[in-house]
Structure 1
């Protein structure tokens, strides 16, 4: 048998997890096989995403953005899938966010042309690398973060190498992570942009998630303070660029409602500015960190779309499922499943058993009696009740916590329809 690993060859590789052993199956044939992970048709472990849930999350959030008078450039770092990035843009997203030059290169090579580079890039060597990329894609609209004159110098180097005039710089405010810490740093960064020949002031940016704490009230106070500083920095940028169309960017997937409430009025009062959120993980949601975040959002009042209330916890649906097989029942109360830290996120909580299947038939009620207690590289340890009928060969569907650090473990994720049948194989392109 011969297998080709490169996706541009349009054939799948035995080295790609989840693909059954088949002879040279073309990629476009995946959705025609009728495979069902619950039946054991995929090589396990495998990661799938619910096409219907993803589309519902997308449509809900884009409707909310329109109602809240904000735009969104979904963060591509979550799935690093050019196809999903394009699908979000085609559905109405303003553009796409990337975290570094490598991610920008992937998205540009697949046709995306409006990017937020939501990070400082580093020093002059990084500026030369970005410049080479911009030279290859002269039609890109790129907005990059800077929080110091040194960061501005790197972007100026990029613009010089690319012979690119008008590279947009967003002055980043911050606390807990990158970002200018005070007015003096903001003013110095603005002055550096104004002094550079090929740069222009594009607006301001921040990331509110970096100030979050376990205390919900303290988190709200910290975000409010950061939003106040962001508004003050925006006023300084506006004074320095009175006629420029500006961006105010913030918003991850946990506090997007809070930042929109704070920043949308600033943009509206200005009349020539757009609030651009960067939420990415919420399109996938999860059974852990974002399930908790949406419950907190509901405690803040929930979502209002054109005057209609929606529960975030009830409306956003977890789209990712990790499938694994029971490998061993070595002792009473213990089962070993065939996945581990190489396959699943664990930084924000361990995977949660959702459903158990035997020979394609669900064993009702069993999953609720199981729990993952720990992981090592390729094994999951499950606590099993003494009378639990879990057996070697049973297939378990797990919910995950934190899509960003789960998806980056997979070269391919499989779309599933409402009946649990594979619709397509979707490549990811993490560096």
Structure 2
């Protein structure tokens, strides 16, 4: 079974470029994506601010993670919310990913528009309108596989009532979500988890299919205390998975962001059923948070490479040690660390510079020998809040080259 509609992804090359895409230069307006990239435009044809992806780094990261998951004996359902780019999802699926993870119903609708046939919703879906739509999708397509989470008896009751009202014919598969303080959602105690499982088994519109959770909210560094908290939580997930009676032939146990997936494998691999990692940031990686905390950076595998870079122009030098760049919060991620100046395009590495603050449209850069008009490449932290600011992202043949060439354009839907 094809997990994504390849023809629908290929058709993205027929989209016409215009003013809707802030990364696209005026000279490309009216051309299709395919027509424009066939001319191999240079990056210097694009204005600033700009976000790019590096083709080689993307390929490397996809291969590295796919190979690691295969060797570990687990499945990978990468979190699609990181990129919301069906073209990148296709790369991950073609490399062997089991399915695509998503976070909410609008994201699931994007996936279905591109024929994604196996979706793990790492969240609860209680909206009656959304549940009616989902029931229609499941009933209309027998090959569509969908898995969601529940973390309360009340949530089970609301899902069951909405699905009954919608006349659902196929039961919705759900995982009991186990949480821990100070995490996000997820039932906090094991006794409550068992009650939720029994409620699911009693609901004819639902099917108990596994256990889910997220360890990434419990630690934000790789300290001994952080790793111990993650391990303790994952052992609880494993124990709950062993205790439940499932209503599917192959139950799922799923965890794993992009920071501690090695520990997920260490604790969960070998359990009965299917162990599914949901790591998503790996495909793009970064020059910030994940660069430091990724298991591969800590010696657990082949290091990933940051595929995303921002490009911003020096537009003002109002003080001797201050430069203002034409990119800000509307263009760059900043929630997990400020951008990092790396090089001046066409000149080489930049030394002694740092971004100290961002406004909506400006970056404040102190230090570094730059002149008004020069273009600075910035490393970014946290791909989830970088790509969401761009609807069309150029892919270059090498961000380290003096004269990068654009070889593709990636469309996103956030």
Is 1:352 paired with 2:358?
A: no
2:13/2:34 contact within 8 Å kept: no
2:92 is matched with 88
* Inter-CA distance 340–242: structure 2 relative to 1 (3 Å threshold): closer
Three-state SS of the structure 2 residue aligned to 1:218 is helix
Structure 1 residue aligned with 2:103, among 99, 102, 108? 99
The reply to whether residue 141 of structure 1 matches residue 121 of structure 2 is: no
Task: Select which of 386, 408, 411 maps to 1:424.
Answer: 408
Once the two structures are TM-superposed, the CA of residue 331 in structure 1 deviates from its matched residue by: 1.9
**1:392-403 pair list within 5 angstroms:** 392-403=372-383
Q: Distance in 2 between matches of 1:243 and 1:45?
A: 50
Instruction: Give runs of aligned pairs for residues 3-402 of structure 1, distance below 5 A.
Output: 10-22=15-27, 23-37=29-43, 40-135=44-139, 137-157=141-161, 159-160=163-164, 161=166, 163-175=168-180, 176-214=183-221, 216-237=223-244, 240-241=245-246, 244-265=249-270, 267=271, 270=272, 273-294=273-294, 298-299=297-298, 302-303=299-300, 310=301, 312=302, 315-357=303-345, 361=346, 363-365=347-349, 367-385=350-368, 388=369, 390-402=370-382
- Structure 1 stretch displaced more, 124-133 or 196-205: 124-133
Q: CA deviation at 1:114?
A: 0.2
Deviations for 1:242-300, whole angstroms, at most 9, x for unmatched residues?
873111100000000011110003x2xx3xx0110000101111100001113x6554x
Per the TM alignment, residue 232 of structure 1 is displaced from its structure 2 partner at its CA by 1.8
Change (3 A) 1:187 1:380: same
CA–CA distance in 2 between the matches of 1:45 and 1:394?
A: 12
CA 1:227/1:192 → structure 2, altered by over 3 Å: closer, same or farther?
A: same
> SS at the partner of 2:323?
strand
Contact 1:135 1:162 in 2 (8 A): no
Normalising by structure 1, what TM-score? 0.87
Considering only aligned residues, what root-mean-square deviation do their CA atoms show, in Å? 2.1
Displacement of 1:127 in angstroms is 3.0
Moved more, 160-169 or 195-204: 160-169
CA contact (8 A) 1:121 1:154 kept: no
Offset, 1:157 = 4.2
State the Cα distance separating 1:393 from its structure 2 match: 1.3
User: How far 1:72 moved relative to its partner?
Assistant: 0.4
Q: CA deviation at 1:192?
A: 1.1
CA deviations on 1:319-347 (whole Å, 9 max, x unpaired) are: 00111111111221111111000011101
Q: Which blocks of at least 5 consecutive residues in structure 2 are unaligned?
A: 1-11
Q: Do the aligned partners of 2:285 and 2:304 also contact (CA within 8 Å) in 1? A: yes
Structure 1 CA distance, aligned partners of 2:248 and 2:117? 24
* Shift in alpha-carbon separation, 1:288–1:215, aligned structure 2, 3 A: closer
Instruction: Decide whether aligned partners of structure 1 residues 400 and 213 sit closer, same or farther in structure 2, where only a CA change above 3 A counts.
Output: closer
Count of paired positions: 396
Equivalent-residue separation in structure 2 for 1:30 and 1:334 (angstroms): 37
* Cα displacement string for residues 344-364 of structure 1 (whole angstroms, at most 9, x for unaligned residues): 11011011111102xxx2x23
CA distance, structure 1, for counterparts of residue 21 and residue 297 of structure 2: 40
Per-residue deviation, 1:368: 2.4
